[in-house]
Every structure is written in structure tokens, then in C-alpha cells.
Amino acid sequence: MRRTQQVIVKWLTPGLRVKRWLVVLLFGITVLALGLTQVIVTLYRTGDLPNLLYTAGLRFLPIWARVLVSAVVGLGAVSIAVFQLNRSILAPFTYRRRESLIDVMVAHQRRGRGLKVVAIGGGTGLPSVLRGMKAYTGNLTAIVTVADDGGSSGRLRRELGVLPPGDLRSNIAALADDEDLMTHLFQYRFANGGLEGHSLGNLFLTALADIAGGMDKAVALTERVLAVEGRVLPATLQDNVTLWAEVRVPGEDMPRRVAGESQIAQAGGRIEHVFLAPDRVRAFPEAVRAILAADLIVIGPGSLYTSILPTLLVGGITEAVRASSALRVYVCNVATQPGETDGYTVANHVEALEKHIGRGVLDAVLSNNSYPSKNAGEHTHYVLPSLPTDAVYARYQWHAADLTDGDRPWRHDPAKLAKALLAVFDDTAQTAPSRNGLAASERQTAPKNHQSDSP
């Protein structure tokens, strides 16, 4: 009984676009019934009907009884017919889902009205943002690096001259149904033979890019196949982008220049500067448009020098983030990354971003404040906060929360991360509800109007 009441309440949820069409349906049925009534009345008045019609017309009953019986029978027949018809029509689209139809509709309606979120970066960190936020909004866009030159992506890039598909694949899978068989197939990685190391998704995207005429088209078609609610966009469509780094190696007088994303962390020194070659890499226009239309821009988490900065250094990306009216949040990693950020504090991460993209790009910083020992292992070194007197703290809003995954505490828990991001967004909305021109009642939350720091 309680379940029935909950279902009825869900059907009455505003915005489902059900009640209005139900009214139209009932209006049409009423008009049709009135027409049929006129026919029946005419037959009664102009001729003798057989006893069967007399009985079917219920004229032996009082008027109130006839009305009641007609209403019950009519509404019952219409309800059963509409339910079964919709069930038959929708069955091919819902047979794989565990939820009921009304649960799917309510969830879809809620996500469709959610914030416009853009997540920027790559690697294993960015999918955590998408997995967490897709429960709250379907307006998700991931903008990922295309500078990857290692593993399966690097091999496909060198041998076939395509954009590296690895980060695109991982983020598409993050936006898809985690329980769907196609998602598992998309992430499947061959362990033996000539395809050893390749994932099925990488091969699929590469083949589809050749058929469709570009990796951007391949990604869009793949999102349809996996029924993804959201978009994954490459930062650029140039397929010859190489990430370079100047690394200070102990014992050497001059910084060493290292080419290739996969080689930088192996150089054995402290990274001082990274840059892209060629030096005029142009952003994918769709990525720029998504940034400018966003309500919330999330930068990271992910490898600071080999995932986040290669995306931001693409010409037009940082400029769009700076110009956007969205709330711009940097999510710092939970743990340091060997060969990249050894010994870094949260402030060191932010200072490295400022060094490459300037100040005034970020509004807020979200970091982890939980450092569990369970399941961490001896190689996990958490990113710790700096002293409160550090000058970087005066330039941004700082937020901290427990963001660790219970099984892999060096990574972000998607659900915790999403709740923390929404809390940051809500917190800024309370102080300046009209940052991007939308009333709080229209979006429920809106980001704060921050003053930009000059570079």
C-alpha cells in the first residue's frame, strides 16, 4: 500500500509531462463519447431496438446507477488499455533497467533540470566527477586531454595517426550505465595476443573515427550507443599534440627537456614547467561553447602536469574558463603522484596552476581532509594542507571535506566528491544568488560573484 502511494506521488511530480497529456487524452475520449452518445440516443428515438441493446443500455437501472457503472467500466477500460499500450511500446527501451518506468522518468526529469557542469582534465580522476555528478544532473560535459602517448592510446596514435582515445573512452564509460553489459565491454582490455594492452573501447573509437570521419563524430555516435546522458569532448582535434616538460634533475645544472606525457614522470626530477608543441594548439569550438554556457566548472582531479595542464594549455580553453560566469572550482588530488607532485601540498598544486595559466581563473579550491590508514598501503602519501599563513589562501575560497574512497583511499569517492561540489556551489549561492543572471528560484542554487585576481 505504501509503495502504491509513493508511486502515485511520483506520477504527480511536476515536469514529467504526463498529467497534461492525460488531460488531453481524457478530453478526447469525452468528446468521442459524446458523439457516440448522440448516435445511441438517435437509435433509441427512431426505432425499436432488440432486447440486447435495451439491456446493454442499462435502462432498467436508475439514472445514477447507469452513470456510475458507465464511469467505472469506461475509466477502467481506458486505464487498462493505456497502461498496456504504453507498456508494449516502451518495453524495448526499458527491458534492461532494474527501475520501474516512473522511477526512470522522475530521475530523468531531475537530471534534465540540473546544473550545467563542465569537468576539465583527464586520467583516472575526471571520471570520478562524472560518476558522482550524473546522479544529480544530465547536463554534464567532460573536456579531456589528447596529449596521451602511452599504453594502448599511444600505440594507436603512433600507428594510425588518430587522437588518443583512452581518456575519451574512460569518461564515456563513466557517464554510461555502470551495470550495462555494453559498458563492461567498452572497458574490456585484452590480456594476451597481438591485441594485448588494448581496450575494446579504444579499438571501437578508432575504427568509428575512421568510418565517421573524425574522433569527435566517433565519440558522439558512441554516446548514443551507450545511452550516455552528457557529452565527452576532446580539448582539441589536432592529432599531433605533444606534451613537453622542463624537469630539474638532481646533479644537472640545467633543466632537462622531456618530450611525451608518458616520459615526464619517469625523468626522475622535479617538474618546473610544461608546454604543448606545436605552440598554437586550437581548442575544439564545442568545448569552448560548453565552458561559456556552464554553471559550474570543475578542474581536476587528475595528474596535475600530465592531465589537467595539457587540457588547460590548449589555446582558448583557459581563456574561456576565465571569461565564463560559472563557479570555477579546482579539485586537488587526494594523494601525491610519484614523479610529478612528490611532497606537494594543496597550496603547491594551486601555485603550479597559477604559474602556467595565471591568477583569476579559479574561484574556489576543494581538497581532502581525511587521511585513513586502512587500505592505504605504504606507497600512499596524502596531499596535506599548507600553513594558513600561505599567501595563496587569500586569493580563493577554500573548502575541505572527506573525499576518500574506502577501498582505494588514494582516490576520490564519486559520491562524496559530488556532494562536496554541490555543497561548495550552494555555499556560494547563498551569498550571491545572481552570479550568472539566473534567479535562485530558477536553478535552486547559483555561484558567488568572485573578484578576479590580476595576474
Domains of the chain: 2-103 (no CATH), 110-443 (3.40.50.10680)
pLDDT tens digits, 210-222? 999 999 999 999 9
Spatial separation of the C-alpha atoms in residues 351 and 273, rounded to whole Å? 12
Query: What span, in angstroms and rounded, lies between the C-alpha atoms of 90 and 79?
Result: 16
DSSP string, 395-428: SSEEEEE--B-SSSTTSB-HHHHHHHHHHHHHHH
CA dist 430 and 369 (Å) reads: 24
Question: CB neighbours (10 Å) of residue 77?
Answer: 10
Give the pLDDT band of residue 85 (cuts 50, 70, 90): low
Looking at per-residue pLDDT, the higher value among 111 and 372 belongs to 372
Over 90: is that where the pLDDT of 444 sits?
Answer: no
Distance CA 52, CA 399 (A): 79
Q: What is the mean pLDDT of residues 90-105?
A: 55
% of the chain exceeding 70 in pLDDT: 75
Q: Kindly report which listed range (28-32, 116-120, 131-135, 187-191) carries the lowest average pLDDT score.
A: 28-32
Give the number of other CB atoms < 10 A from CB of residue 72: 10
- In the predicted structure, residue 165 carries a pLDDT above the cut 50: yes
In three-state secondary structure terms, 276 is strand
C-alpha distances (whole Å) from 274 to each of 242, 264, 306, 368, 411 are 10, 9, 9, 26, 24
Residue-level pLDDT at 293: 95
Q: Which residue has the higher pLDDT, 80 or 273?
A: 273
CA angle, 302 then 265 then 143, to 5°:
30
C-alpha cell at 403: 573525499
Average pLDDT for 401-410: 94
pLDDT at 107 over 60: no
pLDDT score, position 13: 65
**120-134, 261-275, 389-403, 437-451: the lowest-pLDDT one:** 437-451
Checking if the pLDDT of 265 tops 90, the result is: no
* Digit-coded pLDDT (tens) for 301-337: 999 999 999 999 999 999 999 999 999 999 999 999 9
pLDDT at residue 40 tops 60 = yes
Q: At what angle do helices 215-225 and 200-212 cross, to 10 degrees?
A: 120
Lowest mean pLDDT among 51-55, 80-84, 138-142, 274-278: 51-55
Question: ω into residue 301 within 30 of 0, thus cis?
Answer: yes
Q: What is the pLDDT of residue 215?
A: 92
Longest dimension (CA), the chain: 114
Question: Which cell numbers hold the place of 130?
Answer: 562524472
Each residue's pLDDT tens digit, 342-360: 999 999 999 999 999 999 8
Per-residue pLDDT, 223? 87
- The mean pLDDT of 414-419, rounded to a whole number, is 96
Asked if residue 311 lies in contact with residue 121, where contact means CB atoms within 8 angstroms, the answer is: yes
Residue 95: pLDDT over 70: no
Q: Say how far residue 13 (Cα) sits from the centre of its chain.
A: 24
The residue type found at 259 is: A
Per-residue pLDDT band at 455 (split at 50, 70, 90): very low
β-bridge pairing 117-121 and 256-259: unpaired
Report the range out of 63-77, 317-331, 379-393, 439-453 with the highest average pLDDT: 317-331
Strand, coil or helix: what is 356? helix
Q: Is residue 433 scored above 50 in pLDDT?
A: no
Distance between first and last Cα of the chain:
63
